[in-house]
Amino acid sequence: MNIERIRQPFIENFPGDFSNNPMQRNTPKVLFATIKPAGFDKPELIAFNEVLSEEIGLGKFQEKDLDFLVGNNLPENIQTYATAYAGHQFGNWAGQLGDGRAILAGEITNDAGKKTEIQWKGAGATPYSRHADGRAVLRSSVREYLMSEAMYHLGVPTTRALSLAFTGENVMRDIMYSGNPQLEKGAVVIRTAESFLRFGHFELMSAQREYNNLQELADFTIENYYPEITSTDSLKYKDFFENICTRTADLMVEWFRVGFVHGVMNTDNMSVLGLTIDYGPYSMMDEYDLNFTPNTTDLPGRRYAFGKQGQIAQWNLWQLANALHPLIKDEKFLENTLNNFGTYFWESHDQMLCKKFGLDQLRKGDEDFFTSWQGLMQELKLDYTLFFSRLESLAPDSDLKEQFKDVSYIHLNEEMLAKLSHFITTYEARLALNSISKEDSVTMIKKTNPKFILRNYLLYECIEEINTGKREMLEKLTKALENPYQELYSEFSGKRPSGYDDTAGCSTLSCSS
Ligand code: AMP
Ligand code: MG
């Protein structure tokens, strides 16, 4: 791999703490602290993303590169660092957080000039580890590696994953926070993104009243990642905030389209580039349920439930607005922009639903149609992905009982089947209003609705298998997630098997990673 191409423009641009001291501490007035990965004696490769490596300019993987994948024996050109950020967690101000388990190698530029940041997750403690160890376990690393790539191939903006390797070290974790910690295999993922900057980076600068750093960080972000912004002075920061709002709304719509629940939408897990970032206790949705949250820590309030993600994004943007206020200094503007977020989000959301149903455009009555659909989905406990995959082959004489067999998580009685049938009749009447052809409508359905989603139970099985030394399922899942709009493996395209309904790691997950 061409690791000699990696540079650290971030640390050249901002004040930092160059002590390499791992002691956990607050680091006011600086944006990062240099820190070395812990180093691991017996790394072992689990998976490597060759296509991504070539694409970002890192090139081919050779045996000797294994060290780099876990952060061992780094060359001179790589001065590694962790960045400081803050955040609101579960609605409360949490103060300084920072890269506690991520260490940045820097940035690489490919031949076409495209820049990509590279970081290890799980390679050791940093000043921001907050009494934790900076390590990651296999299960959370497999989940991040596979899901971020699955999202990419679904077409959802996301950070990506380059490699997955065992560290050869064990890590102690209490998965269910039940007082029974156990040793688990440690692993490191290398993840990449155009930038890992979060809302929390801006919140920290603002909370510490470091307005000069705040402005320089905003300027850096705009210059590097928002080339479309050409305005100057305070107008530039207004455009910046508006652009973040739009990208965030677009991202939420995409999460709704594919049925993704992030699980921990704290402001420190919100990308200023509108990327899906920090794959923790996330889940793809099996049975449609607006109230579904996979995160056991979130069960009491269900703050981050599937159906609330749009509102929560808006709440998080409020916090970002407060953070950017010293640069924008216009409350009315910020308020209007946040209100527009709601309008824009719901409009885009409904247009997205139109596409899922193969409808030409949002027409009068469609909102009621969607509401009745949501009621039907929840009452009949229908699988979100499978429901839509059945629509493309609906014919006027379809046997619905047959067609929707194995789509529900409960037995559908006659009354329920009658409701389904009534809904389909309404749907067909709506399709008849389309100004596009039947073929175009079906093409739209096929392009919008995945055939394969990376369900939690599949990840669970894959992790179990890797733990026994096998890689068959990992390889198959990788192929499946690279082609989510096709059905490559019928064994992966059904609903969640009933045996997994209450399995920890399938239906619910903790943050313990
Ligand atoms: P998360 O909820 O995973 O986004 O993490 C919240 C904060 O805790 C971030 O600052 C993380 O870097 C930090 N953190 C989480 N797990 C660990 C760990 N194992 N070691 C060090 N820091 C961690
Ligand atoms: Mg995080």
Per-residue pLDDT tens over the stretch 452-466: 999 999 999 999 999
Could you tell me if the CB of 278 is within 6 A of ligand 1? yes
Q: Is the CB of 98 under 6 A from ligand 1?
A: yes
- Minimum-distance ligand to the CA of 143? 1
CB atoms within 10 A of CB 190: 27
Is 409 exposed, middle or buried, given 0-12, 13-18 or 19+ CB atoms closer than 10 A?
middle
Average pLDDT over residues 115-123: 98
> Contact 288/503 with Cβ under 8 angstroms?
no
Residue 6 CA to ligand 1 centre (angstroms):
25
Whether 299 lines ligand 1, by a CB cut-off of 6 Å, is no
Q: Does the beta carbon of 298 sit less than 6 angstroms from any atom of ligand 1? A: no
The mean pLDDT value for 242-269 works out to 98
Q: What is the pLDDT of residue 257?
A: 98
Q: Is the pLDDT score of 255 beyond 90?
A: yes
For residue 89, the CA-to-ligand 2 centroid distance in Å is 10
Q: Which is the closest atom of ligand 1 to the Cα of 126?
A: 21
Question: pLDDT tens digit string along 228-244?
Answer: 999 998 899 999 999 99
Q: Can you read off the two tokens belonging to residue 177?
A: 């926070």
Tokens of 247: 């990208």
Average confidence (pLDDT) over 350-367: 97
The CA 92 to ligand 2 mean position distance, Å, reads 15
**13 pLDDT band (50/70/90 cuts)?**
very high
Q: What are phi and psi of 137, to 5 degrees?
A: -95, 165
Quick one: pLDDT band at residue 501, thresholds 50, 70, 90? confident
Q: 31 in the Ramachandran plot: left (φ > 0), alpha (ψ -120 to 50) or beta? A: alpha
Q: Is the CB of 133 under 6 A from ligand 1?
A: yes
> Which residues lie closer than 8 Å to 367 by C-beta, 6 or more apart?
350
Average pLDDT of the segment spanning 51-57: 98
Q: pLDDT tens-digit profile of 159-186?
A: 999 999 999 999 999 888 888 899 999 9
Non-local (6+) Cβ contacts of 187 within 8 A are 46, 122, 136, 137, 138, 141, 142, 164, 165, 166, 167
> For position 95, what pLDDT does the model report?
98
Rounded distance, CA 253 to CA 438, Å? 25
Q: Give residue 252 CA to ligand 2 midpoint distance, Å.
A: 18
Residues with Cβ within 8 Å of 354's Cβ and at least 6 positions away in sequence, in order, are 360, 361, 362, 366
Which of 367, 406, 404, 407 has its CA nearest to residue 385?
A: 407
Please tell me if the CB atom of residue 172 comes closer than 6 angstroms to any atom of ligand 1.
no
Residue nearest to atom 23 of ligand 1 (CA): 100
- pLDDT beyond 90 at 212: yes
Asked if the model's pLDDT at residue 287 lies above 90, the reply is: yes
Tell me whether residue 268 is one of the annotated catalytic residues: yes
* CA–CA dist 453, 78 (Å, integer): 37
* Cα–Cα distance measured from residue 356 to residue 354, given in angstroms and rounded to the nearest whole number: 5
Q: What is the pLDDT of residue 398?
A: 83
Residue 81's H or E segment, with its range, is: strand 81-83
List the catalytic residue out of 17, 99, 268, 289. 268
What is the reported pLDDT for 223? 97
β-pair type (260-261, 44-48)? unpaired
Extract the tokens encoding 497.
Answer: 């098997």
Q: How confident is the model at residue 248 (pLDDT cuts 50, 70, 90)?
A: very high
Cβ distance 154 to 258 under 8 Å?
yes
| pTM > 0.95 | yes
Residue 47 Cα to ligand 1 middle (Å): 23
Q: Which of 120, 129, 282 to mutate to test the pocket of ligand 1 (most atoms within 8 A of CB)?
A: 129
Q: What is the whole-number distance in angstroms between the Cα of residue 280 and the centre of ligand 1?
A: 10
Could you tell me if the CB of 445 is within 6 A of ligand 1? Answer: no
> How much of the chain, in percent, has pLDDT values that exceed 90?
92
- Known binding residues: 98, 100-101, 121, 133-134, 191, 198, 269, 278
Q: Looking at the CA of residue 264, tell me the nearest atom of ligand 1.
A: 2
- Which residues contribute to the annotated binding site for Mg(2+)? 269, 278
Lowest average pLDDT, out of 188-192, 280-284, 315-319, 403-407, goes to 403-407
Residue numbers in the known binding site for ATP are 98, 100-101, 121, 133-134, 191, 198, 278
Sign of the alpha-carbon dihedral angle for 96, 102, 104, 108: negative
Whole-number pLDDT of residue 395 = 80
pLDDT at residue 110, as a whole number: 98
Q: What is the pLDDT of residue 507?
A: 74
124 lines ligand 1 (CB under 6 A): no
- For the CA of 268, the closest atom of ligand 1 is 4
